Structure 1
Amino acid sequence: MNLRHLGELAATGAISELELLSLEGGFYVLRALTEAGPQTLCDARGEVLHLRSTTELRQLLADVPPLRCTLVQQVVHDEMCGQRDGPVEPLRVPVSLASQW
């Protein structure tokens, strides 16, 4: 999915939520949750778009209709230390696309 397609789906209400996935290496990947399943945002060459910050995300989505967005980060400390039994759910934090605060 490219930015234009993301904007079109957002305008029609076909996106239920955006997930900003925090990945190793200090970058993020944006995923749109749709009825057809999750779709990752790609650049003009069709490669997964890597973002460096929530500020860059806000700038990128400035012209897209407002959507709910959640930062998703795996809790690797729990996985490494083995402190919990059972599956370890990722940390999910709401992110405001309207402002930094």
Structure 2
Amino acid sequence: MNLQELNAFAIAGKVDELNLISMEGGIYLLEARMHGAAHPLRDGHGKTLSLRSIEHARDMLQTFPVLPFNLVHTSVHDEMCGLGGGISESLKVPLAFRSAL
């Protein structure tokens, strides 16, 4: 899904929430959740769109209707120390959709 498609779905009230996923290296990925399914945001070339920060995401979404917006930190325990086999849980923190500034 690209930014224009996401905006159309948001205006139509079809987006349940937006999740900004924090990845290692200071990279953020944006996904829209609709009817329980994740739809990652892609650029004009069909590649997953990387964002620099929460504010970068807010800037991109400033013309969108207000939606539930979360920061998601995925569990890195499997990559660290070679741990595996456990339940993988993410930390999901609600964010303000608009900046306070």
TM over 0.5: yes
Q: Distance in 2 between matches of 1:100 and 1:46?
A: 32
SS of match in other structure, 2:59 = helix
Q: In the alignment, which residue of structure 2 is the partner of 1:19?
A: 19
- Structure 2 CA distance for aligned equivalents of residues 27 and 100 of structure 1: 22
Aligned residues: 100
Identity of aligned residues (%): 43
Matches within 5 A, 1:54-93: 54-76=54-76, 80=80, 86-93=86-93
Q: In 2 relative to 1, CA 77–69 (structure 1 residues): closer, same or farther, beyond 3 Å?
A: same
Tell me, which stretches of 5 or more residues in structure 1 are unaligned?
none
Q: 2: CA distance between counterparts of 1:72 and 1:36?
A: 16
Matched, 1:8 2:8: yes
Cα distance, 1:76–1:51 mapped onto 2, change above 3 Å: same
Greater helix proportion: 1
Q: Deviations over 1:35-71 (max 9, x none)?
A: 2721000111111100010110010001111110111
Cα root mean square deviation, aligned: 2.4
* Structure 2 alignment gaps of length 5 or more: none
- What corresponds to 2:38 in structure 1? 38
In 2, distance between residues paired with 1:68 and 1:52? 20
DSSP 3-state at the match of 1:15: coil
Return the TM-score normalized by structure 2.
0.85
**Cα distance in 2 between the residues matched to 1:90 and 1:74:** 4
Compare 72-81 and 28-37 and name the one that shifted more.
72-81
Is the contact made by 1:27 and 1:53 (CA closer than 8 Å) also made in structure 2?
A: yes
> Quick one: which amino acid aligns to residue 28 of structure 2?
Y
Instruction: Report Cα offsets for 1:62-83 as digits up to 9, x if no partner.
Output: 111111011110233597479x
